Structure 1
Amino acid sequence: MTPHGPSPTRIASLGALAAALLLTACDARPAGEPVVRTELGEPVESVSSQSDQAALDEAAAAELALAQGNGPCQSVTFEGVPLTHCIADPEQHRIRASLAPSSGANFGTIEGWAAGRNESDIAFVMNGGMYDDNLKAMGYFVQDSDRLVELNRADGSGNFFLKPNGVFFGSNDRWRILDTETFLRTIGDRPQFGTQSGPMLVIGGDLHPDIQDNGPSKAIRNGVGIDASGKAHFVISDAPLSFGQLARFFRDELNATNALFLDGNISSLWNPATGRMDSRRVGPLLVVETK
């Protein structure tokens, strides 16, 4: 059963809080154009966002979005590109890895995976890494503490092998992203979930050194980043964008200390709150469940 949202008075209070925060933000924006978040209620005059403001009003905006029935995902625009930004909060969510079905009706899709599942348990699902011809993960992959694929340290062509690549992993309420070599050196215990992909987009607050500011390759892309508070930010573009644009969004707008590219062209999202169900061919999945 869907819980009742906040009262109109609560929503109005949140709106007032967001307006107050807009007035108090004063620091200069880092590189990158302003984010313009989709208005969920009455249209308001567009105001340039700043990183300090984004950090302060994120919780209020997320709660307001939830009240309006959009779940943990919001529509945003960055450097002229529409994106969908979904937040997983360790206090409200748990994350696990899964695989799209390799046979049957709707095989290789989130829709095929979702068949027969309890929708009320799902916050959102996003594709979670690159796969081979059998829809199996190309790199390290852990599902329910069972390691299905070993860490891949090979060299090769393609995005996965643009070093440093990395691993998104976690257990219980702690989620992390590390480059592959650091993961190998420092992580001894097997996590409850893990997926390897590449390239890293943000490494210790810096952009991947080989990613151009705005290269010629543009595609539907998605990635995941972790901020200083431990929240996981999942981002999928709703129009083609460059690696540089996606990386800057994680660094400049979300203040992600580490971020990992997940895949391109096949990038897909299921958001039960809005009914969005992308139908592209996928393999590994990252499932965000409500507690």
Structure 2
Amino acid sequence: MRWLAALALLASPAAAEDHLEVVCDDVSHLGASYTLCEIPAGSDMQLFLRDDQGAVLGSFSAVEENESRPLLFAMNAGMYHADRAPVGHYVEDSIEEMRVITSDGPGNFGLLPNGVFCIGDGLHVFETNDYVTQTPTCEYATQSGPMLVIDGALHPRFIPNGTSKFIRNGVGTFEDGSLSVFAISNEPVNFHNFATLFRDVINADNALYFDGKVSRLYSPSNNRSDFGWQLGPIVGVLAPQ
């Protein structure tokens, strides 16, 4: 698999600097189509929520206008309230907007265990309690849920023939933190099949669900810019200065 080969290529920071291109490809898994995008740790990956005046950006085009640099890749990155404020933990430019939520609750976010995607010393998905225990330094962090893969195992609540199907997206990471793989389904799928994509095809050590139904991808190299709902947190890779 190319993303596994990329792990070897990105064994050092210098190697990461040489591989800044965002690669997105379609794959088939259990009869459904998915788009996978590889992002190495050397890329200028950030989370985006608000503009300089504090207003929620809400779209890929608004991020580009606010940053004055093209996006190489972007995707919605965590659940949000009606006002588009993040449901769970959110850190941007090392500033915490929302605390960590460790309790269970309604909806997918509260289907424990959930987790945190951290952009800091590498790229990592942490189960939430591990995140609290380890206190990693994250320049950017977004909490969502449920976890899809936890140390190589599927979330224990997923069932193979689940009937709840949506367009879904999420991110998987590897133990060494050198690479992240973002995935979005191109047709409605259930949680179990989406999670097995990360476990069996991507071979991610840990993977986190971002959302369903509102899931969107921006990939100019693939001539793709999904439209739809106004978004809350967005993860994106900016072109170099």
Q: Please, what TM-score do these two structures have when normalized by structure 2?
A: 0.84
| Cα separation, 2, equivalents of 1:54 and 1:115 | 31
Does the CA-based 8 Å contact 2:79-2:87 persist in structure 1? Answer: yes
Q: Which has the higher strand share?
A: 2
Kindly report the root-mean-square deviation, in angstroms, between the aligned alpha carbons of the 2 structures. Answer: 2.5
Residue 95 of structure 1 is matched in structure 2 by 45
Q: Which has the higher helix share?
A: 1
Quote the offset at 1:217 in angstroms.
0.6
Is structure 2 residue 89 aligned with structure 1 residue 140?
yes
| Cα separation, 2, equivalents of 1:194 and 1:103 | 19
| Structure 1 residue ranges without an equivalent (≥5) | 1-50, 61-69
| Cα separation, 1, equivalents of 2:98 and 2:6 | 40
Residue 130 of structure 2 is matched in structure 1 by 182
Q: Which amino acid aligns with 1:99?
A: L
Matches within 5 A, 1:1-291: 55-56=4-5, 71-91=22-42, 93-99=43-49, 108-115=58-65, 117-118=67-68, 120=70, 122-172=71-121, 174-187=122-135, 190-230=137-177, 231-281=179-229, 282-291=231-240
Q: What SS does structure 2 have at the residue aligned with 1:222?
A: strand
Q: What SS does structure 2 have at the residue aligned with 1:256?
A: coil
| Cα separation, 2, equivalents of 1:285 and 1:134 | 15
Quote the offset at 1:227 in angstroms.
2.3
Q: 1:74 to 1:118 in 2, by over 3 A?
A: farther
| Structure 2 residue ranges without an equivalent (≥5) | 10-20
Quote the offset at 1:79 in angstroms.
1.2
| Cα separation, 1, equivalents of 2:211 and 2:107 | 11
| Cα separation, 2, equivalents of 1:152 and 1:127 | 19
Q: 1:134 to 1:147 in 2, by over 3 A?
A: same
Quote the offset at 1:213 in angstroms.
1.6
Quote the offset at 1:100 in angstroms.
6.2
Q: After superposition, what is the alpha-carbon deviation per residue over 1:26-47, rounded to whole angstroms, capped at 9, x for unaligned?
A: xxxxxxxxxxxxxxxxxxxxxx
Q: Please, what TM-score do these two structures have when normalized by structure 1?
A: 0.71
| Cα separation, 2, equivalents of 1:125 and 1:161 | 25
Q: Which has the higher contact order (CA 8 A, sep 6+)?
A: 2
| Cα separation, 2, equivalents of 1:103 and 1:79 | 41
Quote the offset at 1:206 in angstroms.
0.4
Q: Which has the larger radius of gyration?
A: 1
